[in-house]
Amino acid sequence: MFDPALLLAGFASIFSVKIFPFLLIGSILGIVVGAIPGLTATMAIALLIPFTFAMEPIAGIVMLLAIYASGIYAGGIASILIRTPGTPAAAATLLDGYPMAQKGEAGRAIGIATISSGIGGLFSALALTLFAPLLATVALRFSAPEYFALAVFGLSVTMGLSGKSLLRGFAAVLLGLSIGMIGVDPIGGFPRLNFGFAEVSGGFNFVAVMIGLFSLSEAFRQIEQMSILPPKPPAVRDVLPKIAEILGMWRIYLRSCVYGLVVGITPGVGAETSSFLSYAETKRRDKDPSRFGKGAPEGVAAAQSAENGSTGGDLLPMLTLGVPGDAATAVLMGALTIHNLQPGPMLFQERPDLTHQIFAGMISANVMFVVLGLLGARLFARIVQIDRRILAPLVCLLSLVGAYAIDNNPFDVWVTFVFGVIGWLMQRGGFPVSPVVLAIILGPMMESNLRRALIMGLGSPAIFLQRPIALFLLAVAAISLFAVLRRSRRERREAAA
């Protein structure tokens, strides 16, 4: 269904005077919104849908696509600078991005993040353009058993984020799984574990939990150590990463792009999952995993490229099957519907011109934010230079305002505050925080699909053995868990020796 002539026509229309300004506006807006904690790409798209009413459909859609791509990218900027993920997806970026900034490499971290996001985004946009119908048939082969296996695989990889103590990592996973169970039983529809609070009848707001765990907890830690830490981290150096450095990470990029695409195509999970998976796997495969978490550029590269690598994958089932890949593409789907363009197989048959314009728009959007991001990197990096005694209270304020901004719900402010305290206590006790976050995402996916798969198999667990993709993923999960266990045992022995 890919047609080079239509794609060229698509590019021609994107770069026309009527549409290009909207691509630029969308990219700038996306970067701004993405970098502000609590404001996600999803919200920005939702906010701007009414403004697209008066626009030509494709101009509006290109603007929203640009916000999507650049918003996902820009979440990493706040992660690097103030350890506050601008969007949920960027939580994996902060693990190494923030330590880099604290070492005076904020500019380099942003440079690598920008290029990596661009590589991942371009790869997935091209995959979408060239193979959309083919990948849609692949997506159809996935159902409940495969989603369950994918979630199990994700959790097994998460264990690799445990840090020194595997047991503590496991405890963090269990905490996340328990939090993920609060709300409504995903299969039966019964309310559960809400302890009579109507506010949590739909579960805790994930973004509020995440802002608390990562950003508020770090602000607490800074306040605690204010008297002993120097007020400013070292000055910013090297904004542009060296080409050789980028090329040297090709293996990481290849892996991240594949992770991004596969996770993206899977409905319900998006950039926030792929970035963690790719980060954990890159860490596991590194010769010296202990470098990670202390400012390894590879960590930033893996997280950012997988994040944007999932954008094309998330768009794919939305455009071809009418199933949004994540929250942001769900809103994009609404925008298409309002412009009288129903996503689904008929969109490709009836409006090939439009689908190719969307492809061209997505490719251009990924180039656009790289240009803007690199131009702005030095400017952004200055934020690190703000005195800690001013920055820490500002981060507190941003976190709480961000929590309120998600749904205008004062309850979410409390959620953020409580999880801020939990995150701070966890870090003091040497418990890793990321497995909690990933378990909150993957837990409900694992539970609902396990139960759905068992119903599909008429109650027999044999369904997992009869389906090759599910079986393969479960086997990989077992191997990966085993590898983590073995490494941990070896490290303990070495430490003892």
Partner 1 sequence: MRITRRQFSASVAAASVAASAGGAFAAGFPERDITLVVPWAAGGGTDALGRTLAKNAKQYIGANVAVVNRPGGTGVQGMQSVAQAKPDGYTVGLVTFHLSSYRLTGLSQLSYREFEPIMLLNRSPTGFLVRADSPYKSMKDLVDYAKANPGVVTIATSGAGAVPHLSAALLAKQLGLKFTFVPFDGGAPARTAVLGGHVTMLVVNSEEALQFYKAKQLRFLALNSAERHPTFPDVPTIAEAGFPLATLLLDWRGLAVPKGTPPDVIKTLTEGFRKMSEDADYKRLMDEMALPRANAEGEKFTAFLEDIEKALEPALAEVGLLKKI
- In the chain, how many H helices and how many E strands? 22, 2
The string over 380-408, giving b where at least 16 C-beta atoms fall within 10 Å of a residue's C-beta and e elsewhere, is bbebbeeebeebbeebbebbbebbbbbee
355 to 394, contacts with partner 1 by CB under 8 A? none
Burial class (CB in 10 A: 0-12, 13-18, 19+), 131: middle
Buried b (16+ CB within 10 A) or exposed e, 351-379: eeebbbbbbbbbbbbbbbbbebbbebbee
- Residue 191: φ, ψ to 5°: -70, 140
For residues 415-434, which are near partner 1 according to CB under 8 A?
Answer: none
The alpha-helical segments, DSSP class H, found in 226-351 are 243-247, 250-265, 271-285, 297-321, 327-338, 345-350
Residue 482: CB atoms within 10 A of its CB come to 11
Does 231 participate in binding partner 1 (rule CB under 8 A)?
no
Length, in residues, of the chain: 497
Is residue 267 a contact point for partner 1 (CB under 8 A)?
yes
To partner 1, the closest distance from the beta carbon of 469 in angstroms equals: 11
Asked whether 156 and 484 are in contact (CB, 8 A), the reply is yes
Residue 407 binding partner 1, by CB under 8 A: yes
Phi/psi of residue 275, each to 5°?
A: -65, -40
Q: Which residues inside 71-130 make contact with partner 1, applying CB under 8 A?
A: 88
Residues 270-280 as b/e (b if ≥16 CB within 10 A, e otherwise) read bbbbbbbbbbb
Question: Is residue 142 involved in binding partner 1 (CB under 8 A)?
Answer: yes
Taking the complex as a whole, the smallest distance from the CB of residue 262 to partner 1 amounts, in Å, to 16
Instruction: Supply the minimum distance, in Å, between the C-beta of residue 154 and partner 1.
Output: 17
| Exposure of 407 in the CB half-sphere (CA atoms within 13 A) | 14
Round to whole Å and give the CA distance between 72 and 233: 27
Site for partner 1 in 34-63 (CB under 8 A): 39-40, 42-43, 46-51, 53
Q: What is the smallest separation between the CB atom of 72 and partner 1, expressed in angstroms? A: 12
- Applying CB under 8 A, which of residues 22, 73, 98, 206 lies at the interface with partner 1? 206
| Identity of the residue, 107 or 270, whose beta carbon is nearer to partner 1 in the bound complex | 270
Q: Which helix (H) or strand (E) holds 35?
A: helix 20-35
Q: Which is nearer to partner 1, 191 or 233 (CB)?
A: 191
With contacts defined by CB under 8 A, how many residues of the chain interact with partner 1?
65
Query: Which of 76, 160, 268, 361 touches partner 1 (CB under 8 A)?
Result: 268
- The one-letter amino acid code at 467 reads R
Judged by DSSP in three states, 183 sits in strand
Segment interacting with partner 1, rule: CB under 8 A, options 4-12, 266-274, 379-387, 392-400:
266-274
346 scored as a contact of partner 1 (CB under 8 A)? yes
Whichever of 40 and 162 has its CB closer to partner 1, that residue is: 40
Q: How far is the CB of 246 from partner 1 (least distance, A)?
A: 30
Nearer to partner 1, 107 or 267 (CB): 267
Minimum distance of partner 1 from residue 335's CB (angstroms): 8
Q: How far is the CB of 420 from partner 1 (least distance, A)?
A: 19
| Alpha carbon distance 281, 180 (integer Å) | 23
Is the Cα dihedral 468, 472, 475, 477 positive or negative? negative
Residue with Cβ nearer partner 1 (283 or 467) = 467
434-456 and 144-158 helices cross at what angle (nearest 10)?
Answer: 160
- C-beta of 227 vs 340, nearer to partner 1: 340
Smallest distance from partner 1 to CB 441, Å: 9
d(CA 58, CA 336) in angstroms, rounded, equals 9
Q: Considering the rule CB under 8 A, would residue 436 count as an interface residue with partner 1? A: no
Interface segment toward partner 1; rule CB under 8 A; list 135-143, 216-224, 305-313, 377-385:
135-143
Nearest approach, Cβ of residue 348 and partner 1 (Å)? 9
Cβ closest to partner 1, residue 40 vs residue 308: 40
Our finding on whether 139 is near partner 1 (CB under 8 A) is yes
Neighbours of 428 (CB within 10 A): 12
Position among 21, 133, 202, 461 found at the interface with partner 1 (CB under 8 A): 202
* Closest distance of CB 375 from partner 1, Å: 26
Chain residues 281-340 in contact with partner 1, contact rule CB under 8 A: 317, 321-324, 327, 330-335, 337-338, 340
Shortest gap between Cβ of 162 and partner 1 (angstroms)?
Answer: 25
Q: Is 189 in the site for partner 1 (CB under 8 A)?
A: yes
Residue 121 or 270: which CB sits closer to partner 1?
270
- Reported as type and span, the H/E element at residue 357 is helix 352-381
Interface contacts to partner 1, rule CB under 8 A: 39-40, 42-43, 46-51, 53, 88, 139-144, 184, 186-189, 191, 198, 201-202, 205-207, 267-268, 272, 317, 321-324, 327, 330-335, 337-338, 340, 342-347, 349, 405-409, 448, 452, 455-456, 458
